[in-house]
Structure 1
Amino acid sequence: MPSVADVAAHNSRSSCWVIVSGKAYDVTEFLDEHPGGARSILRFAGRDATAEYEPLHPPGTIESLPKDKHLGPVDDLTLEPEPTATTSEIQTSTSPLIMTTSAPVILPLSACMSLEDLAQVAAIKLSPRAAAYYHSGAETRYSRDRNRRDWSRIGLRPRVLINVGPTPRMRTNVMGFDSSLPIFISPAAHARFGHPDGELCLARTAARMDIAQCVSTYASMTAPDIAAEFFNDPHKRGGAMFFQLYIPRVKKDAEKLIAVAKKAGYQALVVTVDAPVIGKRDDDDQFQALAAAADGGDSENKGKEDTEETLPPLPSQEPGTLRAAHNATFEWSDLPWIRHCWGPEHPILLKGIQTAEDALLATQQIGPDGKRLVDGIYLSNHGGHQLDYAPTSVQTLLDIRRRAPQVFDQLPVYVDGGVLRGTDVIKALCLGARAVGLGRGFLYALSAYGTAGALRAVQILSDEIQTTLRLLGVADVAQLDERYLDLSEFGIERAKL
């Protein structure tokens, strides 16, 4: 049984031990394989990392290390948690995506009338670490912020004196499965930052409200546990489960992830194609650097001074591919292999399409059996997390409509990015989208009130979608098209009557 002093002696890149849940582990050989980079582990070299580890990782993650790296319980470990940096100690440039008038008290759930209200509650409850991650965007955050702005640039054109019946029809087909609303829960990592149940809150919501949940490779609960929560929920009334796949650094390891998803019962595979490397996310990186400084510096750089004599690597000579958490060589020719691993029974979608050219290429991917390899495309700029100044889903929808309109006839199109209102959903459907994903909106909802908050988010969206349909004079979401939009702010004028 190692002691606290034994663990503390192994506090460098050459020998790195950490404590998680009272047990010591040798993670030296894993440092460069960690998706978050070596630095995020080296901050806790020789120390207890439990408080940082638990919200970020599914149960059993560190236990999967080879047995010889399990060093056993720490015999004199105090039960007192190690102090972590407080809000006052860590200041970042992060500003919330949603900033409304500050409230002296937290809104009760019954008083939350919009997803912005739920986000306001979440902003009060979230830890600084969680806020930095949830609110971050690439570099200047222009893409993140424009996601929201572009929906507001589209106007609506209501028709009047039309009887839409007692209830407009809102049901649609999402990735091959019937859904009560034309929305789904977008994949997003680290939901346990916001609530101890993390993605389980969203699984219950999908099951109870008859919508789909797309689960991230980097979910903070295991993919089988999330699926089991969905399929076994006693209040289940429908819904579907999709698995979002990042291709790991070792490409062949994707086969293991796909096999786990198939065994757990996931019904569609959503392959992310816009993340060969991780985008430069200043807010998140800055938080981690400041947290390391508050801890006394990370082990990777201990003893180094920030002077001009400290030479960084020459450009393009950094060890390994810069920001490479995933496989940087994944390409179109790999799609037959993905289809073979997933099988022909359930759909495959490509997430991260951002141009008309790539949307058209997706329709042209044909397998050896003469069938399409791709069953749908998912327009997304990754919530503004990846490439700053990347197009929004609104821009990409308009790009496809102008230059490759045949795409809409050949594959269903899904979108996400900046969607917080039912009117945003309606606008996307009018532009040709089949359904709309929400990521941050559901993260804020569960961070505010757990499962109850996520359920409330669906209720709010349903209310807004139904109200908008009635006021537009539309009886069925299938009837929506560009006639109901004013696109003049994008330079698109309507033909004369």
Structure 2
Amino acid sequence: MLDGVEVAKHSSRKSCWIVVNSKVYDVTSFVPEHPGGSTILLKQAGADASTEYAKYHSPEVVNDLPPGSCLGDLDPSTTTALNTPKGLDRGEVQDATAQSDDGQVPHVTLCVRASDFEAAAKATLPNKSWIYASSSANSGQSLQGNLDDWSRVTFRPRVLRNVETVEVGTRILGNSSPLPFYCSPMGSMGSIHADGEIEMTKAIVQTGMHGLMSTASTKTTEQIMETYLAEQERRGSNASASKLMFQLYIPTDRQRAVELIRRVKKAGFHSLWITVDTPVLGKRTADRYQQAQEAFDVGLAEEDVEPAAEKEVETEGGAAPKVSPKIGGRPPPGQLSARTTWEDLAWIRREWDRPIVLKGVQCAEDAKLAVEYGVQGILLSNHGGRQMHTAPSALMTLLEIRAYAPEALGKLEVFVDGGLRDGADVLKALCLGAKAVGVGRPFLYALAAYGGKGVERCVDVLSEELTTAMRLLGITSLDQVRPEMVNAQRLLNEMWRPEQASRILRVFQFLSPVISLGLFSSRLSKIARLSQRISKSNGAVEGILAAAVAYTLAVMLLTFLLKHGGPKPLRWLLMLMDLLFMGAFIAVAYLTRPHGGSSGLCHNTNRYEAALIPKGQNCSLPWGTFILAIVSTLLHFLTALFHEVKDRKHSRDAHNNYGNGYQTGNGDERERNQTRNGDERERYQTGNGDDRERYQSGNGVDRENLLDTLGAWTEITGEALTAALSFYQSFDEVVYQACRSILVLENNVFLI
């Protein structure tokens, strides 16, 4: 038996013994692994933990401790010699709850969610730096949308799965990554931490995640890459899987842009992420207030302040990038080009033979263009809510691409960023087809409050949340994610959808002649049975209606099947046909007009019809044909007009590089560019058959859902038409039988 005096001596991290149900356990090796945290065990060190243990565990759980933990029974006569359960000693308390000099910043270990670093950063940073890090465009709705939309997608967990071992690794632009999230680019880190980019780079290497460095960094590209290489060398054979990527702002001077790209390439950055959502800087409202206040404080109105002159700052290791385009809410002259177009990718590709990603794509049309121009990836982003007022969140754009440009998910690596504050949310984006998720502000806040160690802590928090979410969702690796694992219906309800006017017009065009044909055919069938003849005017109306039904059915199917209405010659042909049918329906309206039309109301074709069909009935039955002829005339006119307006808009949009998504541009140059990049694209795209199969499976689900929807719509429409025609046929048969009964009574003969 063990003496209580001896047990009480083992009351520290170095040697921790506890008593549970009269047995002594050495839990020293288990302290750092305790699910509830090491503090719980250390409070019970050298003491009887039976009471506290019983609050949370069943008696047999203690048997799961590492082998050899049980040291034996406690001598019951020495129980009073045990320690009283208590807190840590003074030194360890200080270690666990250390604060900054002003007493406002909690110890880094007390940050247990990514959002916890924000308060710590706010307490640490000067006001101007805090405004820069946290500000957003206009009234902040884009930023708020980023934060909110993650919670509007929910999981659909599966249970009773073996999830003991989980693998969170993936591949990003052809390189392995231990994590499906990366560090987003953030400029002016020197305003956040004295060694901002240096500390961030060290943390990137330590955690193994990939990192994206900004054009607006306060350290040079060479300094950043030297830090990266030094950290890798320090790790020796345990090299990190992390890769450094570069985010490019294209300046107005192309030669400056070329020189910067060449420097980045020489430094050894892995890929180039071109920011495409900053032709101008968005209105950073808080920055504007700050700038105005500073001007006011020194007695100057804001309009009297001249923009800072653009100048190179020579520092150790080479020339630093230009002044950040973000501090103060306005960019220095020449920093951002408002003339950059899709054609500029050609000269960029001549300078850069590594992967290219377009950062800032916010609609399906531009995703299609990205595929067309042969880049390797796109980043769905609204610049952290700092550019366009009420811009869509990355998740919203991802859903739009799934619906209207699903081919992009199989041909590009699609990344998302903006508003992520929980590692579990990374899984939502992956289920919807994203390759990885960028994390920005949480890492920036962690850097501000705690330096590189804070960033590492934040990565650990997100990674743990991701791993837990995978287990609870019922998967063990990222190649198992599927769209059906999440419910994005709330976002889908608000997602942009293309113009449906032409399809709706076609549906009504189809229904109008179908009903007219049903009504008129019912009348003609009776006339044919009774008189054995049909007038030329009746035959003409019947033929026009039948042709209109066939034409509108064919065009309606083409409208659903062809993208963007089909090629222009076909659209012109359809417009001509609409005009012709407009004339044809004018003729139908003329022939079926009341009191005068040869096939119209109250007009009896011959004496047999006059004898067999009472005048009141003959006047009431054809009304539908006349009215619907007028309606059909109007519908065909609107459709023809719609084609003309749409073609004009299409031409204008193509000139402005947007619209349906395909520029005319320089076809030869683009073809040469694509040919030259074909092997490049194949080499740098995922190359992972499982990933491509996953994407295709996801897209297949969407296509199947679309086909199911169209099938259901067709079935419902068919049932409605069948019911309508059945009603009219039943009504017509009742009228016919009534007419026949009247004639039988009057003439005492059966006609049929």
Same fold (TM over 0.5): yes
* Cα deviation, residue 252, structure 1: 2.5
Q: Report the residue type matching 1:130 in the other structure.
A: S
Larger radius of gyration: 2
Q: CA deviation at 1:260?
A: 1.0
SS for the counterpart of 2:461 is: helix
In structure 2, what is the Cα distance between the partners aligned to 1:462 and 1:178? 16
2:355 to 322, 347, 350: 347
- 1:271 paired with 2:259, answer no
Aligned to 2:215: 217
Is structure 2 residue 138 aligned with structure 1 residue 139?
yes
1:290 aligned to 2:293?
yes
Please report how far the alpha carbon of residue 492 of structure 1 lies from its aligned counterpart in structure 2 after TM superposition.
Answer: 6.1
Q: Distance in 1 between matches of 2:192 and 2:393?
A: 26
Greater than 3 Å deviation, 4+ residue runs: 321-325, 491-496
Q: 1:244 aligns with which of 244, 247, 251?
A: 247
1:491 is displaced (CA, Å) by 4.5
Match of 2:263 in 1: 260
How far apart are the structure 2 equivalents of 1:460 and 1:332?
39
Corresponding letter in the other structure for 2:454: G
The 1:255–1:171 alpha-carbon spacing in structure 2 relative to 1, beyond 3 Å, is same
Q: How does 1:48-127 map to 2 (within 5 A)?
A: 105-127=104-126
Distance 1:465 1:299, change over 3 A: closer
Distance 1:148 1:376, change over 3 A: same
- What is aligned with 1:336? 346
Contact 1:276–1:324 under 8 Å retained in 2? no
For residues 333 and 408 of structure 2, the distance between their equivalents in structure 1, rounded to whole angstroms, comes to 33
In structure 1, C-alpha distance between the alignment counterparts of 2:147 and 2:449, rounded to whole Å: 21
- Distance in 1 (CA, whole Å) between partners of 2:299 and 2:172 is 49
Q: What TM-score does the superposition give when structure 1 sets the normalisation length?
A: 0.71
- CA distance in structure 2 between the partners assigned to 1:427 and 1:375 by the alignment: 22
CA distance in 2, matches of 1:476, 1:492: 30
What does residue 473 of structure 1 align with? 474
Q: Which amino acid aligns with 2:207?
A: M
Which SS does the other structure have where 1:115 is aligned?
Answer: coil
CA offset digits 1:377-435 (Å, max 9, x no partner): 11100001111111110110010011111110111101101011111111110110000
Aligned residues: 368
User: Where do residues 273-422 of structure 1 align in structure 2 (5 Å cutoff)?
Assistant: 273-297=276-300, 301=304, 325-343=335-353, 346-365=354-373, 372=374, 374-422=375-423
2:149·2:491 contact (CA, 8 Å) conserved in 1? no
Identity %: 39
Is the CA contact 1:208–1:238 (under 8 Å) kept in the aligned structure 2? no
SS at match of 1:332: coil
Q: Which amino acid aligns with 2:339?
A: T
- Structure 1 match to 2:624: none
Q: What is the CA-CA distance between 1:164 and the residue it aligns to? A: 2.1
Deviates more, 1:287-296 or 1:356-365: 287-296
Q: Which runs of 5+ in 1 are unaligned?
A: 1-102, 303-320, 366-371
Q: Which residue does 2:200 correspond to in 1?
A: 202
Higher strand share: 1
Q: Which residue of 1 aligns with 2:456?
A: 455
Paired residue secondary structure (1:402): helix
Deviation at 1:298, TM superposition (A): 6.6
Instruction: Report the CA distance between 1:120 and its aligned residue.
Output: 1.4
Alpha-carbon distance between aligned partners in 1 of 2:278 and 2:340, rounded to the nearest angstrom: 10
Higher relative contact order (CA 8 A, sep 6+): 1
- The 1:155–1:143 alpha-carbon spacing in structure 2 relative to 1, beyond 3 Å, is same
**Is the contact made by 1:279 and 1:323 (CA closer than 8 Å) also made in structure 2?**
no
Question: Paired residue for 2:429?
Answer: 428
- d(CA) in 2 for partners of 1:299 and 1:184? 38
The whole-number CA distance in structure 2 between the counterparts of 1:254 and 1:300 is: 30
Measured against aligned partners, the alpha-carbon deviations of 1:156-214 in whole angstroms (never above 9, x if no partner) come to 11111100232x11111112221110011011111122211101121111111111110
Give the conservation status (yes or no) of the 8 Å contact 1:210–1:237: yes
CA contact (8 A) 1:277 1:323 kept: no
Alpha-carbon displacement from aligned partner over 1:442-484 (angstroms, at most 9, x marks no partner): 1111011000001111111110110000110111012112111
Does structure 2 retain, via aligned residues, the 8 Å contact 1:243–1:266? Answer: yes
Q: What SS does the aligned partner of 2:198 have?
A: helix
Give 1:301 shift: 1.7
1:143–1:384: 8 Å Cα contact kept in structure 2? yes
Contact kept, 8 Å, 2:251 with 2:334, in 1: the verdict is no
Instruction: Provide the rounded CA distance (Å) in 1 between the counterparts of 2:297 and 2:173.
Output: 46
Q: CA deviation at 1:322?
A: 11
For residues 390 and 356 of structure 2, the distance between their equivalents in structure 1, rounded to whole angstroms, comes to 27
Match of 2:70?
none
- The SS at the match of 2:147 is helix
Q: Read off the aligned partner of 1:331 and give its amino acid letter.
A: T
Shift of 1:300: 6.6
CA contact (8 A) 1:136 1:284 kept: yes
What is the CA–CA distance in structure 1 between the aligned matches of 2:104 and 2:133, rounded to whole Å?
Answer: 22
Runs of 5+ unmatched residues, structure 2: 1-101, 306-330, 495-700, 709-752
- The amino acid that maps onto 2:245 is F
Please say if residues 105 and 449 of structure 2, whose CA atoms lie closer than 8 Å, have aligned partners that are also in contact.
Answer: no
Kept after mapping to 1: 8 A contact 2:250/2:335? no
Q: Distance in 2 between matches of 1:277 and 1:300?
A: 19
After superposition, the C-alpha distances for 1:289-322 in whole angstroms (9 at most, x for unaligned) are 11122233279727xxxxxxxxxxxxxxxxxx99
Cα distance between partner residues in 2 of 1:220 and 1:144: 25
RMSD of equivalent CA atoms: 2.4
Q: What residue identity is the alignment partner of 1:151? A: W
Amino acid at match of 2:396: Q
8 Å Cα contact 1:185/1:437 also seen in 2: yes
